[in-house]
């Protein structure tokens, strides 16, 4: 690799949470690696220099929760299409949900995904595996073999492990491997037929509600089990103020717990469901404005570790249904960064710590060598115009499915280019 | 009063719910309905108001009373009425809904009367068709003609709606009748009491502008009207209520419980009734206090009024096009 050419990206605003850096500087790469980054990098005379004045250079984003339709539902999304959407959003690493068809619950399937991704994806895809076989909630999957094959975390996808004993055993067993157990905190019994946040609006629309307790009951139970087992526990996509408070208290007690929220839940609330808008039907549901504000506070004070897209592509037919019958989910990997930046532009949250929620923190939880511009790291980064305004038009998104809950929303922050292993995988200028 | 003497323009293309209707919309529909009540008592009931118009009753959920009421209303106005019942057990109800909408629209109906088990289904369908759509009940959302006929029944008996206290008792959480009635009665200046066990009350009900009670004794106090709702059998086997007999004991309307209401209070029920469950036969059949039979009669008149009001807008549209 020593013969590989050098490239120097200079005069950019460098933001790297790991190095606690937010200043004008440059990034020097050679081949697939970062050689140096900072305000006074030494640029070899043979290096090709690219002037990035006016742009911000960030570590490539790590999206911790992405559903791809592949394998099994390729009409919704494939590894190839999701990777193009990701690259256009500055996402260079994504963790893939295992609740595909078939469910990723076998080492051979993890291996298949990794090979398939190498062949078709332009960003790095990291499979997660199921906690229980076929996500049946009963039979633990082979954490050891799956982890060796490359599974970065364990989750039953959009289903909580409902049986407390199964969950206790999974946490116990996962602790052997220091594996991350990621729970979808939604009590299926309390949810019952619920399709949106329980409250006045649900009553007015005549839709069955999902109480906040459906989320907190699972979190409360699991925190007891984490105390018992010492496992690494992560709650995927919390939605309610009570959950933020509970997790804040658990962290203060020193428990090994982390959590995420989706960028959509940071921008929208239950009122976006008004007039039965199925694009805003999410699981967990969009909750009250008070809940949304508490989630923003949770980001600001570090209670919430990670922001994910919760990317869940659904074909048009799955959403062109009555609200009760339509599928859950929104696409989001392409808008993750711009959505997150809303918290900087409108809520005034400091940029460096905000970006840690989509770079260094998820990389750390998943054990990935990613999310930083430190010398020696893989050259995964994005060049972004942080302030450029644009309007989300679902039809123009690169995902195969167009179900964007934030369709029509005004955002600020445009990804100009994205690099994976030193290779440019997205170039907005080249697109024009 | 002849229906042709009621001058009223309904400013909406569809009737999807009570929500969105103004006081004058509601009053206008009730006045027109009043005229049809008189008309329906004549020997010759056939009119030509909707001659040449096609009305399709599209019922995704089975219903005898509402469907026949709409059918009769359309026929008395001279429309060609077609009934379509689509099995609710179809695997993918939503797909059937939009497919059916497209198919029906190609047949150029003028008026589409729709009932569906899912909230919002009728509004969704209305976006896909070019005719006037009438909500005959969607999930737990709205049932606007039921609320209108209830209001007409009350207005004809008591002369007004404003200032009345109306109790709605029973399975409020799953009831579109309760929602539409609450919206309409609030809009017209009445005060609504919602009464039921906590498991059958929806969350946030107080914020909708009602007083909420779990006891019949407290809830019925001062009420002019007591509206009982049907409780589905499947909800009374331990899921939401422990048993029928406990429900009857606590919420079944008998003379003793009725005595908590204002002296002379009147009783209503949207039907079909579970006698001995939510209402005592002795009360249901006592024509001095029960308005249940009136409600059925008013139903046809209200549906004629709504069909006419919506069809009138269709006429003016086509006239504009012809010019």
Q: Is A330 helix (H, G, I), strand (E, B) or coil?
A: strand
Spatial separation of the C-alpha atoms in residues A42 and A53, rounded to whole Å: 18
User: Given CB atoms, is B271 within the 8 Å cutoff of chain A?
Assistant: no
Spatial separation of the C-alpha atoms in residues B203 and B200, rounded to whole Å: 10
- pLDDT of A429 reads 85
Comparing B265 with A432, the larger pLDDT belongs to B265
- pLDDT of B91 reads 47
Sequence length of chain B is 323
State the average pLDDT over residues B20-25.
96
pLDDT over threshold 50, residue B323? no
In 3D space, the residue among A288, A291, A330 whose CA is nearest the CA of residue A310 turns out to be: A330
Taking one residue from A and the other from B, the number of pairs with CB-CB distance under 8 angstroms is: 78
- Cα A170 to the chain's mean position, in Å? 23
B208·A207 Cβ contact <8 A = no
Q: Using one digit for the tens of pLDDT, what is the confidence trace for B257-285?
A: 999 999 999 999 998 999 999 999 999 99
Chain B closest-CA separation from residue A287 CA (Å): 14
B123·A204 Cβ contact <8 A = no
Percentage with pLDDT > 70 across chain B: 92
Structure tokens at B9: 């323009």
Which of B16, B100, B119 is the mutation pick for testing A, counting most A CBs within 10 A? B119
Chain B closest-CA separation from residue A72 CA (Å): 20
User: Given CB atoms, is B124 within the 8 Å cutoff of chain A?
Assistant: yes
Q: Is A296 helix (H, G, I), strand (E, B) or coil?
A: helix
**How far apart, in Å, are the Cα atoms of A118 and each of A4, A79, A125, A425, B139?**
21, 10, 8, 14, 48
Which of B98, B120, B235 is the mutation pick for testing A, counting most A CBs within 10 A? B120
B142·A206 Cβ contact <8 A = yes
**How far apart, in Å, are the Cα atoms of A163 and each of A128, B80, B88?**
21, 57, 33
Spatial separation of the C-alpha atoms in residues A332 and A310, rounded to whole Å: 7
A203·B204 Cβ contact <8 A = yes
Buried b (16+ CB within 10 A) or exposed e, B203-213: ebbeebebebb
A202·B141 Cβ contact <8 A = no
Cβ–Cβ under 8 Å, residues B37 and B306: no
Q: Where does the pLDDT of residue B322 fall: very low under 50, low under 70, confident under 90, or very high at 90 and above?
A: very low
pLDDT over threshold 70, residue A409? yes
B95·A206 Cβ contact <8 A = no
Q: Using one digit for the tens of pLDDT, what is the confidence trace for A9-58?
A: 999 999 999 999 999 999 999 999 999 999 999 999 999 999 999 999 99
Cβ–Cβ under 8 Å, residues A117 and A79: yes
Give residue for tokens 């893989």: A378
In 3D space, the residue among B7, B9, B10, B14 whose CA is nearest the CA of residue B110 turns out to be: B14
Percentage with pLDDT > 90 across chain A: 98
Q: Using one digit for the tens of pLDDT, what is the confidence trace for A329-375?
A: 999 999 999 999 999 999 999 999 999 999 999 999 999 999 999 99
In 3D space, the residue among B115, B101, B103 whose CA is nearest the CA of residue B303 turns out to be: B115
User: Given CB atoms, is A198 within the 8 Å cutoff of chain B?
Assistant: yes
Q: Using one digit for the tens of pLDDT, what is the confidence trace for B204-244?
A: 888 999 999 999 999 999 999 999 999 887 776 678 999 98
Provide, as residue numbers in chain A, all residues whose Cβ is less than 8 Å from the Cβ of B100. Answer: none
User: Given CB atoms, is B179 within the 8 Å cutoff of chain A?
Assistant: yes
Which of A212, A277, A322, A325 is the mutation pick for testing B, counting most B CBs within 10 A? A322
Partners of A45 in the beta sheet? none
A207·B119 Cβ contact <8 A = yes
- pLDDT of A24 reads 97
B120·A322 Cβ contact <8 A = yes
A320·B98 Cβ contact <8 A = yes
Spatial separation of the C-alpha atoms in residues A72 and B16, rounded to whole Å: 39
Q: Is B40 helix (H, G, I), strand (E, B) or coil?
A: helix
Give residue for tokens 């009857």: B248
User: Given CB atoms, is B208 within the 8 Å cutoff of chain A?
Assistant: yes
Q: What is the DSSP secondary structure assignment for residue A334, as one 8-state letter? A: T
Which of A194, A204, A210 is the mutation pick for testing B, counting most B CBs within 10 A? A204
Percentage with pLDDT > 70 across chain A: 99
A204·B19 Cβ contact <8 A = yes
Contacts of A195 (CB under 8 A, 6+ apart): A207, A208, A210, A281, A285, A323, A324
User: Given CB atoms, is A320 within the 8 Å cutoff of chain B?
Assistant: yes
What chain B residue is nearest to A324 in terms of C-alpha separation?
Answer: B118
Work out whether strand A56-59 and strand A61-66 pair parallel, antiparallel, or are unpaired.
Answer: unpaired
Q: Angle between the B65-76 and B144-158 helix axes, to the nearest 10 degrees?
A: 80
Spatial separation of the C-alpha atoms in residues A67 and B191, rounded to whole Å: 49
Structure tokens at A139: 């039979």
- pLDDT of B112 reads 96
Secondary element (H or E) of residue B65? helix B65-76
Helices then strands, counting H and E runs in chain B, come out as 11, 9
Chain B closest-CA separation from residue A319 CA (Å): 10
- pLDDT of A432 reads 39
**How far apart, in Å, are the Cα atoms of B112 and each of B11, B101, B107, B109, B246?**
18, 10, 11, 7, 41
Provide, as residue numbers in chain B, all residues whose Cβ is less than 8 Å from the Cβ of A210. Answer: none
Spatial separation of the C-alpha atoms in residues A425 and A124, rounded to whole Å: 11
- pLDDT of B51 reads 94
In 3D space, the residue among B219, B80, B208, B52 whose CA is nearest the CA of residue B142 turns out to be: B208
Count Cα atoms within 13 angstroms, Cβ side, for A87: 24
Provide, as residue numbers in chain A, all residues whose Cβ is less than 8 Å from the Cβ of B123. Answer: 275-276
What chain B residue is nearest to A276 in terms of C-alpha separation?
Answer: B120
The ipTM, to two decimals, is 0.90
Q: Where does the pLDDT of residue B8 fall: very low under 50, low under 70, confident under 90, or very high at 90 and above?
A: confident
Chain A closest-CA separation from residue B36 CA (Å): 31
- pLDDT of B92 reads 53
What chain A residue is nearest to B176 in terms of C-alpha separation?
Answer: A206
The dihedrals phi and psi of A189, each to the nearest 5 degrees, come to -70, -40
């Amino acid at each position: 690799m020593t013969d590989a050419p050098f490239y120097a990206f200079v005069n950019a605003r460098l933001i790297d949470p790991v190095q606690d850096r937010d200043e004008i500087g440059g990034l020097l790469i050679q081949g697939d690696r970062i050689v140096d980054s900072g305000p006074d990098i030494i640029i070899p005379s043979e290096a090709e220099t690219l002037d990035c004045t006016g742009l911000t250079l960030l570590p490539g984003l790590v999206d911790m929760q992405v559903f791809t339709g592949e394998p099994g539902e390729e009409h919704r999304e494939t590894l190839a299409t999701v990777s193009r959407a990701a690259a256009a959003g500055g996402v260079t690493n994504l963790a893939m949900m295992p609740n595909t068809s078939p469910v990723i619950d076998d080492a051979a399937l993890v291996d298949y995904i990794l090979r398939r991704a190498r062949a078709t994806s332009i960003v790095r895809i990291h499979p997660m595996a199921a906690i229980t076989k076929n996500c049946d909630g009963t039979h633990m999957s082979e954490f050891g073999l799956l982890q060796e094959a490359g599974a970065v975390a364990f989750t039953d996808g959009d289903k909580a492990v409902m049986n407390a004993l199964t969950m206790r055993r999974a946490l116990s067993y996962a602790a052997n491997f220091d594996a991350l157990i990621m729970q979808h905190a939604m009590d299926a019994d309390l949810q019952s037929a619920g399709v949106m946040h329980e409250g006045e609006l649900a009553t007015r629309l005549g839709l069955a509600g999902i109480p906040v307790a459906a989320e907190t009951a699972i979190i409360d139970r699991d925190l007891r089990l984490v105390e018992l087992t010492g496992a690494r526990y992560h709650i995927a996509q919390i939605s309610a103020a009570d959950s933020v408070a509970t997790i804040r208290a658990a962290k203060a007690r020193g428990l090994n717990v982390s959590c995420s929220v989706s960028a959509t839940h940071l921008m929208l609330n239950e009122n976006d469901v008004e007039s039965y808008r199925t694009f805003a039907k999410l699981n967990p549901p969009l909750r009250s404005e008070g809940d949304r504000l508490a989630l923003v506070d949770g980001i600001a004070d570090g209670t919430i570790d990670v922001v994910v897209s919760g990317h869940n592509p659904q074909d048009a037919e799955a959403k062109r249904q009555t609200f009760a019958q339509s599928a859950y989910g929104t696409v989001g990997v392409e808008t993750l960064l711009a959505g997150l930046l809303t918290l900087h532009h409108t809520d005034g949250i400091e940029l460096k710590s905000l970006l840690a929620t989509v770079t260094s923190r998820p990389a750390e939880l998943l054990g990935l060598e990613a999310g930083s511009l430190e010398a020696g790291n893989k050259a995964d980064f994005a060049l972004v115009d942080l302030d450029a305004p644009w309007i989300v038009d679902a039809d123009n998104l690169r995902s195969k499915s167009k179900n964007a809950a934030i369709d029509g929303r005004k955002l600020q922050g445009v990804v100009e280019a994205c690099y994976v292993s030193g290779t440019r995988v997205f170039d907005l200028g080249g697109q024009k | 009063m002849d229906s042709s003497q009621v001058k009223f323009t309904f400013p909406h293309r569809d009737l999807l719910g009570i929500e969105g209707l103004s006081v004058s919309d509601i009053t206008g529909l009730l006045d027109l309905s009043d005229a049809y009540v008189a008309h329906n008592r004549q020997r010759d009931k056939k009119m030509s108001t909707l001659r040449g118009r096609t009305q399709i009753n599209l019922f995704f959920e089975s219903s005898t009373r509402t469907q026949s009421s709409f059918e009769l209303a359309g026929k008395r106005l001279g429309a060609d009425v077609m009934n379509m019942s689509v099995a609710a057990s179809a695997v993918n109800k939503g797909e059937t809904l939009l497919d059916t909408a497209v198919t029906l629209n190609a047949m150029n109906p003028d008026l589409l009367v729709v009932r569906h088990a899912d909230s919002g289904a009728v509004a969704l369908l209305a976006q896909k068709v070019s005719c006037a759509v009438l909500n005959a009940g969607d999930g737990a959302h709205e049932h606007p003609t039921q609320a209108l006929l209830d209001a007409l029944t009350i207005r004809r008996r008591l002369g007004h709606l404003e200032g009345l206290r109306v109790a709605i008792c029973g399975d409020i959480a799953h009831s579109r009748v309760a929602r539409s009635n609450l919206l309409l009665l609030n809009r017209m200046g009445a005060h609504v009491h919602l009464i039921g066990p906590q498991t059958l009350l929806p969350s946030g009900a107080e914020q909708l502008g009602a007083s909420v009670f779990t006891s019949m004794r407290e809830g019925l106090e001062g009420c002019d009207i007591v509206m009982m709702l049907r409780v589905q059998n499947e909800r009374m086997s331990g899921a939401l209520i422990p048993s029928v007999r406990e429900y009857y004991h606590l919420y079944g309307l008998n003379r003793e419980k009725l005595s908590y209401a204002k002296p002379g209070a009147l009783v209503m029920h949207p039907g079909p009734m579970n006698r001995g469950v939510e209402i005592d036969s002795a009360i249901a059949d006592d024509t001095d206090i029960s308005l249940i039979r009136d409600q059925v009669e008013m139903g046809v008149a209200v549906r004629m009024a709504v069909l006419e009001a919506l069809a009138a807008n269709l006429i003016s549209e086509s006239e504009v096009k012809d010019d």
